[in-house]
Amino acid sequence: METIIVSAINIKNGGPLTILKSCLSYLSHNLSSKYKIIVLVYDKRLLERLEHVEFIEFKKTTKLYLHKLYYEYYYFKKISIKFKPYLWLSLNDVTPSVKATLRVVYCHNPSPFYKCSFKEIMLDPKFYFFTLLYKFIYKINIKKNSFIVVQQDWIRKKFSSMFKIDENKIIVSPPSIDNQFKYFDIIKNVQDEKIFFYPAFPRVFKNFEIIGEAANILLSKSIVNFKIYLTINGFENSYAKYFFRKYKSIKNLSFIGLQSIEKIYEYYLLSDYLIFPSKLETWGLPISEMKTFEKPIIVADLPYAHETVGDYDKVLFFDPLNPKDLAETMIKAMSGKFNSNSLKPVNMPFAKGWNDLFNILLTHSKN
């Protein structure tokens, strides 16, 4: 029996952990009868027990970034020589130095394609460092892959241009959304106040300030019948502290802090609109999640957002650098006026879900 190795030692939470779980669930239920499945993880307790899946833990990966590089560029080669994998799938963004018939890297992080302002560098120097580091990390070994997997077509084009890679070697594979909370029975208070919701962790590119400025503009126009829920409390990091200090006096902003996924879905149900002003995303998961409730979406007019919104008739786009434009868009939304967005066909190779993706990978390798 041939072996598939999935490398995911850097994944601990968030969207990447969701992707890892869904990937392993597919492998366990669909390919474990044909392939031995070995998964390299930080902590197997983060994952549900799966039949026919073997875990190898690497708990030192969080202590020092050099540990991660040691594993990727030295130790994993020993593992590949030992197990002789047919497919090595890296979900770590990094292309490791390994031996395998088929080598594939799944890239989540779009930071190399973001240009920080001086203010953003001061507020979040770590993120600025990663915009530089990932450009270098991505480049190492990247042309040795049989395929590169990304979530959107605009990222495929960026990868192709930045690293001089044929677009036919870059598979676009959007994440699938399973809304298990869609039918929560939540009763919303009947009131005139319109509720906006922005679920995001405070990073400089998440662009919270434009919401604070837009709120001030609305208040200056004597528009007060609105509330904006933000999933920060001001203590998460220096950017959150900066934002909270600057806008905490605006009573129409509600700082609710980080929430569980169950609570996030309750806020989707309670809210009238999603605001999503982020300037950088590989996908923009809240957009897809809010769509499952068929509610209006107000989103940054950027390539990632158009792809994520897809075919939808309750959307308004705004300039993510223009608070006045956001304020006017919010007014338009509150009056019930929305536009439609249509998804342009994505060129092949394109995979809708894990079944499509593994069919492309495993069929290609046997040609």
Q: What is residue 233's predicted lDDT score, i.e. its pLDDT?
A: 92
Of 49-63, 78-92, 202-216, minimum mean pLDDT range = 49-63
> Most confidently modeled of 56-65, 210-219, 358-367?
210-219
Give the model confidence (pLDDT) of 30-50 as tens digits: 988 899 999 998 888 777 778
* pLDDT band of 242, cuts 50, 70, 90: very high
Nearest residue to 271 (alpha-carbon basis) of 336, 212, 194, 331? 194
Q: Which superfamily does 2-173+350-365 belong to?
A: Glycogen Phosphorylase B; (3.40.50.2000)
Q: Which superfamily does 194-341 belong to?
A: Glycogen Phosphorylase B; (3.40.50.2000)
Cα 63 to Cα 107: distance, rounded to the nearest angstrom: 22
Q: What are the sequence ranges of the domains in the chain?
A: 2-173+350-365, 194-341
3 state DSSP class of 211? helix
Cα 308 to Cα 44: distance, rounded to the nearest angstrom: 31
* pLDDT band of 364, cuts 50, 70, 90: low
Nearest residue to 42 (alpha-carbon basis) of 11, 14, 79? 11
Q: Do domains 2-173+350-365 and 194-341 have the same CATH topology?
A: yes
**Given a cut of 80, is residue 186 above it in pLDDT?**
no
Q: What is residue 188's predicted lDDT score, i.e. its pLDDT?
A: 53
**b (16+ CB within 10 A) / e for 6-34:** bbbbbbeeeebbbbbbebbebbbeebbee
Provide the token pair at 314.
């309750």
**Given a cut of 60, is residue 23 above it in pLDDT?**
yes
99 phi, psi to nearest 5 deg: -110, 120
Helices and strands, number each (H, E), in the chain: 13, 14
**Given a cut of 90, is residue 58 above it in pLDDT?**
no
Instruction: 245-249: list long-range contacts, CB under 8 Å, 24+ apart.
Output: 246/209, 246/212, 247/209, 247/212, 247/215
Q: What is residue 172's predicted lDDT score, i.e. its pLDDT?
A: 95
Of 51-55, 255-259, 332-336, minimum mean pLDDT range = 51-55
* pLDDT band of 62, cuts 50, 70, 90: low
Cα 53 to Cα 76: distance, rounded to the nearest angstrom: 18
Provide the token pair at 144.
């040795």
* pLDDT band of 366, cuts 50, 70, 90: low
Bridge partners of 228?
A: 196, 253
